[in-house]
Chains A and B, each alone.
Chain A
Amino acid sequence: MSGAMQHGDTILALTNYVFPNDVYVHWSLMIVLYPYITGIVAGAFIVSSLYHVFGIRELQPISRFSLVFALAFLCCATWPLLLHLGHPERALNMFLTPNPTSAMAGFGYIYSAYLILLVHEILFIYRPTMVGLWMNSTGIPRKLYAFLSFYNDNLSDEAMKLDHKIINFLAGLGIPMACILHGYVGFIFGGIKANPLWATPLMPVIFLLSACVSGISGIIFSYILIRKVTGKPIDVTCIRTSLKFLWGFFILDFVFEMLEVFSHFYMSTHHWHVLESLLWGPLYTTYWLLQVKIFSLIPFFLLGAVCLIKFKDRVVLFVAPIVSLMILIQVLLMRWNVVIGGQLMSNSTRGQVSFVPEWLGREGILAAVVVMAAPVVILFLLGKIFPFWMSEEPKDS
């Protein structure tokens, strides 16, 4: 919880009235990161499903990596929540004694179910690899790989067919679950009728589309980065296809975001007058300037150009990381503008507060950096166990 402004401020008092309990921004940086992280998880899973379920063969090089990437972020999805809670020691009560009418109470179940599904899908996809590593290693790694192969070294055609069926089933089930995971996060905000910025049935849709966008961007950016750093060749066809999907999802995402604002503007109810004072008030810079003008319109046209014009490979490889990083920032800004922005309007509908995040503290900038760095470290560690790329697999003995 961070103080926003001192109530009774003389300048604000004249024209601006904020309810006395509304001067605090209760959901701060950690609740900005929570939907950001779960969004990346859901989006990365969609990338994998595009190959495994929808048969987009060009995405094969990143299909396994995207699952491990999703797992790395999913491991940290609960961290911001625990840092945010006033009583984190009671967090499990949401799971053990949930209130069935609360959207938030569903998180434990949705999160656990998704984690179980993701881990199983990774294990089944990696089973041939794990068996190979099991056979070629000794000591503790041998035991670990045996465990990760379900102690089953049967790689016969029949067994692989069964594995493939299970993978297809899990990937197929995973798509609606990834959508539920993130659509649900959107609903946590969209179901709050008291907040004019949040209360829209479009909120889960926008969250879901922005999740796909952030996941695909995250995969493109990290794939190029890791391949560059490790000096391995980059599959440009895969990047081109990913960029096409990124553009497609981003068109939907951006258009829905703008349509939402436009619809309110056109209807011009009291709802809009409250939103207008927010979007052209304390949210102007982070919303219009940063989120819309710089980090949406520029990537939008860049992506369009890369997808429609036949550029040389090196141009694509130059633009792809820039555009994906920009979209990652766009989605983070969107989360900020929704989560923080929604709290800058008082329920009095007569005034706004400002918010500057603190540096230290449980919900400070430093903690946010640690929470965002953790998935990268976990991804590095997971990479030691699960080889990201097919070419790294040991030859099956």
Chain B
Amino acid sequence: MIDIKKEIERDRRAFIKKVLGGSIAGSLLLVLPAGAVDIAEQIPGMREEKAVFTAKRFAFVVDITACIGCGSCCVADKAEYNVPDGHYRTWVERYIIDDHDNVFVDCPDGGLHGYIRAREGLPHPTRDTFFVPKLCNMCEKPSCVQVCPVGATYQTKDGFVLVDKTRCVGCSYCIQACPYSVRFISPATHTAEKCTWCYHRVRKGLLPACVEVCPVHARKFGDLNDKNSEVYKILHEPHVISVLKPDMGNKPALHYVGLRREVV
């Protein structure tokens, strides 16, 4: 009888110990910073102690010969930023050229659901079709920064164009000034919003969300001052490369491989 009592007593102790241990471990997991979960550095050199972010010159390259219009980038972007419906930080356009040289472009829901069905109702047989992902051009001479009356839209020393929503007055002047229509007024904050090339991720050595999820590697990102980076190599090799609306003089840091003359 006494033995049985001892046994129960021991089990109870063990039980309480286990509950306590579990609680402590669980709490620790909650309070430990997410950084403790080790994600390998995706942009070389960003986490070095001596890394100077202002010495970087980032570029984005979109290979439209590779894009399959799956919409993964749009999904990742929407998830990363909780982008309100009907507004777009990034989108994927579908271009169709028929054998009469007519150009048809569409982009239902910003390409968020992917182009799983062929476009119907076109008058002539299709000659060619391709997809063009769009996002902030991170211009070297950004019109939005030029016109913002309060400096809420600004350019960082490493070339990113960002919006400080605590300063934005919501005048929409930047939206009028952007030749690429990448900006919108957030219905939640009443301030201007746009793609940031995932600045918060890049500063931690991670690739922009859309680049990371692209299954065909159509979106590429890197430092042009790093001669080993893929973007450096692409921009210094004899590819067909262009930027959007070069006549605007904004000098975009977003480059397109295989850009077609039909693309605006």
Contacts and interface: CB of A to CB of B under 8 A. Distances in A.
Interface string B159-193: 00000000111111101111111111100011100
Interface string B102-121: 01111111100000000001
A98 B249 CA distance: 24
A104 interface: yes
Given A86-B170, A194-B177, A350 B264 contact: yes
Contact of B191 (A8, A87, A101): A87
Contact of B175 (A26, A84, A105): A26
Interface in A1-42: 1, 7-8, 13-15, 17, 19-24, 26-27
Interface stretch (A121-129, A287-295, A341-349): A341-349
B110 A104 contact: no
A314 interface: no
A104 B181 contact: no
A7 B86 contact: yes
A180 B182 CA distance: 32
A86 B166 CA distance: 12
A23 to B, nearest CB: 8
A343 B176 contact: yes
Interface in A189-216: 191-195
A218 to B, nearest CB: 27
Contact of B150 (A17, A105, A193, A348): A105
B91 interface: yes
A348 B172 contact: no
Contacts of B170: 85-87
A94 interface: yes
Given A194-B177, A194-B178, A1 B150 contact: no
B143 interface: yes
Interface in B79-105: 86-88, 91, 93, 103-105
A102 B147 contact: yes
Contacts of A97: 150-151
Interface string A69-107: 000000000000000111110110110011101111101
Contact of B248 (A19, A101, A193, A346): A193
B129 to A, nearest CB: 14
B256 to A, nearest CB: 16
A347 B181 contact: yes
Given A98-B150, A104-B149, A21 B107 contact: no
Interface in B46-67: none
Given A27-B172, A93-B167, A348-B105, A104 B180 contact: no
5 contacts: A24-B184, A99-B150, A105-B150, A188-B173, A194-B178
The 10 closest A-B CB pairs, nearest first, are A86-B170, A86-B190, A17-B105, A26-B172, A194-B179, A104-B149, A19-B181, A105-B149, A8-B108, A99-B151
Interface of A: 1, 7-8, 13-15, 17, 19-24, 26-27, 84-88, 90-91, 93-94, 97-99, 101-105, 107, 188, 191-195, 342-343, 346-350
Given A97-B150, A99-B150, A195-B176, 17 more contacts: A17-B105, A20-B91, A20-B107, A21-B182, A24-B185, A86-B171, A87-B168, A105-B149, A191-B147, A192-B147, A193-B143, A193-B179, A194-B178, A194-B248, A342-B176, A349-B264, A350-B103
